[in-house]
Amino acid sequence: MVLKKKDSFLDRFIERVDSMDANSLQAYILHLSREKGFFETIFNAVEEGILVVDRSLHIRYHNKAAKDLLGLPDDLDKIRLSQFLQNIDWFRILKQDEDEWTRMSRQEIEIMYPEHRYVQFYLVPHDEDNSFATVILRDVSETRQRTMRELETETSNYVSMLAGEVAHEIGNPLNSLYLNLQLLNRMFKPDEKPDIEESREMLKACRDEVERLDNIINQFLHAIRPGENAMLDLDIKDVIIDTLTFMQTEIETKDISVKCNWPEVLPKIYGDVSQLKQAFFNVLRNAVQAMPQGGEIVVNGFYNDDHVILEFTDTGHGISADKLNRMFDPFKSFKKGGTGLGMMIIERVLRLHGAEMSVDTKEGEGTAIVIKFPRPGRRIRVLNAAEPRNWTP
Instruction: Note the pLDDT of residue 247.
Output: 87
Instruction: Note the pLDDT of residue 259.
Output: 95
19 secondary structure, DSSP code? T
C-alpha 85/C-alpha 92 separation (Å) is 14
C-alpha 121/C-alpha 139 separation (Å) is 9
C-alpha 214/C-alpha 221 separation (Å) is 11
Cβ atoms < 10 Å from Cβ of 339 = 22
- Closest by CA position to 8, among listed 49, 76, 54: 54
**213-223 pLDDT tens trace:** 777 776 666 55
Q: In the chain, where are the structural domains located? A: 38-144, 148-224, 231-390
Partners of residue 46 on adjacent β-strands = none
275's enclosing H/E stretch is: helix 273-289
Strands 59-62 and 49-54: antiparallel
Instruction: Give Cα separations from 310 to 7, 298, 307, 360 (angstroms).
Output: 38, 10, 10, 13
Residue 5: strand, helix, or coil: coil
How sure is the predictor about 371, in pLDDT bands with cuts at 50, 70 and 90? very high
What are residue 297's phi and psi, to 5 degrees?
Answer: -115, 130
CATH number of 148-224: 1.10.287
Instruction: Give Cα separations from 102 to 50, 108, 132, 167 (angstroms).
Output: 18, 19, 9, 41
Is the per-residue pLDDT at 274 higher than 50?
Answer: yes
Of these ranges, 152-166, 167-181, 310-324, the one predicted with the greatest mean pLDDT is 310-324
Q: Which residues contact 185 (CB under 8 A, 6 or more apart)?
A: none
Q: What mean pLDDT is reported for the chain?
A: 77
Q: What is the rounded average pLDDT of the residues 153-158?
A: 57
Instruction: Note the pLDDT of residue 189.
Output: 78
195's enclosing H/E stretch is: none
- Under CATH, which architecture does the 231-390 domain have? 2-Layer Sandwich (3.30)
Q: What is the rounded average pLDDT of the residues 314-322?
A: 83
Partners of residue 134 on adjacent β-strands = 52, 124
Instruction: Note the pLDDT of residue 343.
Output: 74
The 8 Å CB, 24+ separation contacts for 106-111 are: 106/324, 106/325, 106/358, 106/359, 107/356, 107/357, 107/358, 107/359, 107/385, 108/140, 108/356, 108/383, 108/384, 108/385, 109/85, 109/356, 111/69, 111/70, 111/84, 111/85, 111/87
- Closest by CA position to 392, among listed 218, 274, 213, 237: 237
Is the per-residue pLDDT at 308 higher than 70?
Answer: yes
Q: Percent of the chain scored above 90 by pLDDT?
A: 23
Instruction: Give Cα separations from 236 to 6, 267, 302, 306 (angstroms).
Output: 45, 9, 11, 16
Could you tell me the fold of the domain covering 38-144?
Beta-Lactamase (3.30.450)
Q: What is the rounded average pLDDT of the residues 84-109?
A: 74
Instruction: Note the pLDDT of residue 112.
Output: 87
Instruction: Note the pLDDT of residue 319.
Output: 81
Instruction: Note the pLDDT of residue 383.
Output: 46
Is the per-residue pLDDT at 98 higher than 70?
Answer: no
Partners of residue 51 on adjacent β-strands = 62, 135
C-alpha 372/C-alpha 196 separation (Å) is 55
Instruction: Note the pLDDT of residue 224.
Output: 56
What is the distance, to the nearest Å, from the Cα of residue 299 to the centroid of all Cα atoms in its chain?
16
**29-40 pLDDT tens trace:** 666 666 666 677
- Percentages helix, strand, coil for the chain (3-state, rounded to 5) are 45, 25, 35
**119-153 pLDDT tens trace:** 888 888 877 777 888 898 988 887 666 644 554 55
Q: Under a CB-based contact definition with an 8 Å cutoff, are residues 137 and 121 in contact?
A: yes
